[in-house]
Chains A and B, each alone.
Chain A
Amino acid sequence: MIAALVREWRLLAGPARLGLVVLAALASVAVALGLADVAATRADIARVVALESRETQAITGFAKGDAGEFGYYRNYPVWRAPGDLAFLAPTRGDAVPAVMRIRMLALEGQINDNESANPELLLAGRFDFAFVTLYLAPLLLIALLHDLWSGEREAGRLAALDSLPRARQRLWSPRVLLRAGGVALALMVPLAVGGLIEGTAPLRLGAATALVLASLLFWMLVTLAIARLPAASATQAAVLAGLWFAITLVVPAAAHLAINAAVPLPDAAAIARENREEVHAGWDRPKAETMARFVALYPAYRDQAATGTAFAWKWYFAFQQLGDQAVAADSAARDAGIARREAWAQRMGWLLPPVKAAQALQRRAGSDVAADLAFKAQVRAYHRALREYHYPYLFGGQPMAGADVAGAPGFSSPVLARP
């Protein structure tokens, strides 16, 4: 078998060998870029966290223990720490921030903030390992396998080759194995090296490798099925290129249009305005009314809710929360709609196995829509924990000492390393 593979490698035409080398090089560059991106994202997060703690020190200087001042001025960093497969499809420079700062005011006006990314680069798409696997590797596989039989037929050798004893085992299988195996190796070696550098858990690295292989297997079977047909090699190449084109470009783009049309979302601009109206109306409403509505949410503060005519921070933060409360249902409906759109896209993936493999890779990389939504949910829960940490100081009136400031809940990044 080894001898047969060596023979097939010797028989492989120069352009085909070059194709394998170029694919391996592109996959390596994609992995290297991914690793660099992931490292840069971690550095971004670390810098923001460090700068924020200096900012908190400065606030401690003028807040003088006033929980309201802390609540108003202090920001808390939240982030999406890249997982150990993030280098396959990194998110640096996405519209969704990898790190952001939130404060105790109404969250609705903060949680949808975009990163100051360059939209032109996002439009072009990313050059990452998922891209090389989905788009480039199948093209090379098609180029290497489509004329397996027709090429020999057109050279007048097919009948002679097929008449060899055990032609299937001795000739065709090693030929397919070498060519498909070459494409697989060109992807798997860079992937494995990337995994080693990142210290990826072996099982997760194995799962990512299996996805890559499954995608290649699909294309190999499709290509061999077409190659079996008694047609000219040029026709086979055209049909396969057309299939590749439909599966990776046309159908997903058309499905995107259909899904967005089929699943409407609540108007986000209207939600933002309603949230602001509700918050700012707080200034004009009687304080007692605001506090009564807040106490209905947090009965524990019933006895501490009374205010005078003067400004009071507890009243200020009460109407901030009522603003979020007013749009909570709409906002949740919007996130649910986005999740529904993604669920349809995932369902469509089952019809197009290579698309499914790409979706699964993005999921493991933590750069899919579900990861965005999970991050949002995590930020909402964290914002709630922050508020509830501050309420006893705001309502009880005791000052926030140094230990109280340091004791505020810290953000723990959502685990993006999902199965």
Chain B
Amino acid sequence: MNRVGAIAAAQLRLFGRSRLAVVALVLLAMLSGIAAITGATQASRMAADRATAQAAANTDFANQPDRHPHRMVHYGTYALRPLGPLAAFDPGVDAFAGSLIYLEGHRQNATTLGAARESSGLIRFGQLTPAFVLRVLVPLLLVFVGFAMIVAERQTGLFTLQLTHGANASELIGGKALALASVAGVAALPALLALAWAAAQSPAEAGVAALMAVAALLWLGLWVLGITLVSARARSAQSALMALVLAWAVLVVLVPRAAAGVAALAHPLPTKAETDLIIHQELRALGDSHNPDDPHFAAFKAGLLKRYGVARVEDLPFNYRGALSAEGERLTSQLFARHAADTAATQMQQHRLLALGGVISPAIGFAQASMAGAATDLASHIAFLDAAEAHRYRLIQSLNGLHTYQVRGADDAARNKDPIAERQSRISARFWADQKPFHHAGPTMADRIAGMLPGLAAMLLWAVLLLWQLIRSGRQEQP
């Protein structure tokens, strides 16, 4: 083992003498530094902006004057997707997923906002974040630093000379790999420090952050193994470099995009406009509130009259209009929930197809694991959408409950014509302050860790394959 260390130390001295390697490492360190600092400041500013906007929406709602509760159904409120502290390391899908939803009665609105819609077209070239540095930049740096480390010595005859002098090929290869791994460690340091700093903002995140660091080191470890393997087997330094740059371009740049294209084609998503129109169609079949003779609402009314033993809705012990609103909301929300579940299911199918692509390119596995850990992945976004819809339904039905039990039916019926009835149909502002504000803590720690597992498994599979090939390479070397 000592000899491996000595070989690694010698190789590191060689790396240190290569101007190209040193310049590249310094440039990378600068980029990592920029990514870490901007990532941290942007994420904390965005998180603060969203918290402020959420608080403002909550305050606005609580401070509304005495009103008819149905006015509040239409006034609605907003839900903002919270941003966890680890988003500073990997903002994931955040820029491409809307962060704001307007919650109101009768409707399930689309998300709005999102950095992708408020930036220049450059955002499509990738975002400079610590996770991007680790996923895209560091592997290419390692390629440039390490492609020649074995093959160059072989071309000059030095490798064979060392073997004839009693060196063991496995130890030589191991030492070179160790040296490259140290470079990887140094190159990854700024990004990992950014991760540690982000985790330090919230100690509860430390465990998952550690697992994300493991994922990053595993990812870079794959490159160390792959580069050592190619450098050990290539015929010339040039062909080693070509093969490695090609592998990088295919695995990091091409396959993730191609896999996304395949996923979109294999599991097409309907447009929001079409889904809304289909919901309207289905709603008319279920119960048309505009049709006075609609069978569903007629049965609903007859059921209430029978249960309370009265002949007219005016004789019910509560405001029939409120009950009718609640029933209408129940019907529409059922459809919203079903179609939202369909959309989410299709998106998760696309996600799983991508995860399968992680077997071809571990870059996908690393990206998915990192996002899942940072709570900035697709599943986290869907969890937010579900939480927002659940809150919307609870809030609207609570307001419909106030409409049913706090507003007298007679006032309600006359409010559009009689100013006194109108005034009496308004209920106290304190009811608004009593409504629970939207709160979404994000996915649970267990869900986040579970979301990391497929990506980690894909990377482990690759690690085993590369290690096996590298050991074979070491055994096959003859002095």
Contact = CB atoms under 8 A, between A and B. Distances in A.
Interface stretch (B164-172, B180-188, B276-284): B276-284
Nearest to B117: A95
Dominant secondary structure at the B interface = helix
B17 interface: no
Interface stretch (B219-227, B267-275, B452-460): B267-275
Interface stretch (A214-222, A243-251, A296-304): A243-251
Nearest to A113: B110
Contacts of A268: 100, 112-113, 118
B78 interface: yes
Contact of A284 (B24, B65, B126): B65
Contact of B272 (A100, A245, A355): A100
A325 interface: no
A121 B263 contact: yes
B382 to A, nearest CB: 10
Contact of B122 (A127, A252, A277, A334): A252
B442 interface: no
Contact of A33 (B125, B261, B278): B261
Given A48-B273, A55-B277, A95 B242 contact: no
Interface residues of B, number: 102
Contacts of A181: none
A234 to B, nearest CB: 4
Contacts of A242: 24, 144
Given A113-B272, A126-B257, A272 B280 contact: no
A95 B284 contact: no
Interface stretch (A168-176, A198-206, A341-349): A341-349
A248 B137 CA distance: 12
Nearest to B354: A120
Interface string B124-167: 11111000100011001000100110000000000000000000
A47 B125 contact: no
A253 B127 contact: yes
B264 A93 contact: yes
B260 A121 contact: yes
A330 B274 CA distance: 31
A362 B125 CA distance: 13
A241 interface: yes
A236 to B, nearest CB: 9
B49 interface: yes
A127 B260 contact: yes
Nearest to B339: A116
Interface stretch (B205-213, B343-351, B466-474): B343-351
Given A120-B350, A238-B144, A253-B125, A100 B264 contact: no
Interface string B1-44: 00000000000000000001000100000010010001000000
Contacts of A261: 38
A93 B125 contact: no
A256 B116 CA distance: 11
Contact of B111 (A114, A143, A147, A257): A114
B120 interface: yes
For A126, A255, A362, A369, which residue has the most chain B Cβ atoms within 10 angstroms? A369
Given A101-B276, A119-B378, A265-B118, A147 B238 contact: yes
A119 B100 CA distance: 14
Contacts of A368: 121
A120 B241 contact: no
Interface residues of A, number: 100
Interface string B326-365: 0000000000000000010011001100100000000000
B96 interface: yes
Interface in B48-66: 49-50, 53, 56-57, 60, 65
A369 B124 CA distance: 11
B31 A250 contact: yes
Nearest to A51: B277
Contacts of A309: 417, 419
Nearest to B416: A311
A195 B347 CA distance: 32
A280 B280 contact: no
Nearest to A100: B273
Interface string A120-151: 11111111000100011001000100010001
B199 to A, nearest CB: 23
A235 interface: yes
Contacts of A139: 245-246, 249
Given A121-B260, A369-B120, A93 B354 contact: no
A417 interface: no
A250 B265 CA distance: 30
Given A127-B257, A237-B238, A254 B34 contact: yes
A82 interface: no
Contacts of A346: 120
Contact of A234 (B241, B260, B284): B241
Interface string B411-422: 000001101000
17 contacts: A95-B97, A95-B98, A113-B112, A114-B110, A114-B117, A120-B351, A121-B263, A123-B93, A125-B126, A232-B237, A249-B137, A254-B34, A254-B128, A256-B125, A257-B128, A269-B50, A273-B60
Given A95-B97, A97-B273, 5 more contacts: A97-B272, A113-B110, A125-B256, A276-B75, A338-B117
